[in-house]
């Protein structure tokens, strides 16, 4: 009888101790800037785009990275540049090609990020430049600078916990500029893009 009572008391003590340890393990670590550090993550995202500038098909490389908040909001910076020699349709001097680049910041909102397939909406705001170069290496042809805004919509697929694939389209809007034989309307336009996103998505 005493053995049974002792066993029961030991069992009760064990369950009580176990519940106390579990409760303590579930208490979140307090931090200086908030009680849930898991809300924040980070990512990097390379992408390739195709667009037209003054009637010429152009390939673009887009590199971006930044902070992920609750796996819904992204904020960060980007750099975009032409990958091929752009030969504007309006250019009358032979053997010239155009370089294009832009740099700036972006925000992005993602819907249903935990689903395998979901949508995300980046908005880019940056400063850019176009410059004509000569194949012989002469670069004294000046350049033009502008502001650029590009809203986009992407279909995104969760390939892995840390990797996502996306494909979509954006529309590049360039501020007032004039350069040689073209202006902002000749380099504004649609951009199709395909890319990957690597990171810790919180």
pLDDT at 24: 47
96 part of a folded domain: yes
Give the integer Cα–Cα distance in Å for 121 and 148: 17
Residues paired with 142 in a beta bridge: none
The more confident residue out of 71 and 6 is 71
Burial label, 164 (beta-carbon count in 10 A; 0-12, 13-18, 19+): buried
Residue 92: is its pLDDT beyond 60?
A: yes
- 44 Cβ partners below 8 Å, 6+ apart? 63, 64, 65, 197, 198, 199
43 part of a folded domain: yes
Rounded average pLDDT over 69-90: 94
pTM of the model: 0.78
Total domains, the chain? 1
Q: How far is CA 158 from CA 10, 106, 118, 196, 200, in A?
A: 49, 21, 8, 10, 12
20 part of a folded domain: no
Give the integer Cα–Cα distance in Å for 111 and 71: 9
121 part of a folded domain: yes
11 part of a folded domain: no
Tens digits of per-residue pLDDT, 64-79?
A: 999 999 989 999 999 9
18 part of a folded domain: no
Rounded average pLDDT over 25-33: 43
Q: What is the CATH number of the domain that holds 129?
A: 2.40.160.20
pLDDT at 202: 66
Tens digits of per-residue pLDDT, 142-193?
A: 899 999 999 999 999 999 889 999 999 999 999 999 999 899 999 999 999 9
pLDDT at 30: 44
Euclidean distance between the first and the last CA atom of the chain, given in angstroms as a whole number: 55
> Pick from 170, 182, 161: which is nearest to 100 by CA?
182
- Whether the CA torsion 175, 177, 182, 187 is positive or negative: it is negative
The more confident residue out of 201 and 121 is 121
Query: Which residue range is the domain that position 188 belongs to?
Result: 31-200
Rounded average pLDDT over 3-18: 49
């Amino acid at each position: 009888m005493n053995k049974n009572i002792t066993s029961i008391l030991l069992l009760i003590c064990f369950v009580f101790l176990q519940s106390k340890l579990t409760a303590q393990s579930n208490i979140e670590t307090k931090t200086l800037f908030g009680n849930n550090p898991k809300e924040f993550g980070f990512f990097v995202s390379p992408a390739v785009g195709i667009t037209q500038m003054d009637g010429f098909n152009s390939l673009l490389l887009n590199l971006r990275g930044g902070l992920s908040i609750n796996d819904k909001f992204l904020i960060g910076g980007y750099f975009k540049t032409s990958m091929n020699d752009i030969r504007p349709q309006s250019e009358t001097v032979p053997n010239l090609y155009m370089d294009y680049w832009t740099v700036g910041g972006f925000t992005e909102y993602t819907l249903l990020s935990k689903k395998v397939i979901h949508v995300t909406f980046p908005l880019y705001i940056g400063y850019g430049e176009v410059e004509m170069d000569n194949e012989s290496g002469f670069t004294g042809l000046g350049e033009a600078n502008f502001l650029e805004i590009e809203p986009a919509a992407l279909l995104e697929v969760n390939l892995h916990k840390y990797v996502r694939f996306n494909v979509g389209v954006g529309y590049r809007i360039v501020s007032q500029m004039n350069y040689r034989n073209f202006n902002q309307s000749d380099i504004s336009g649609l951009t199709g893009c395909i890319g990957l996103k690597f990171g810790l998505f919180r």
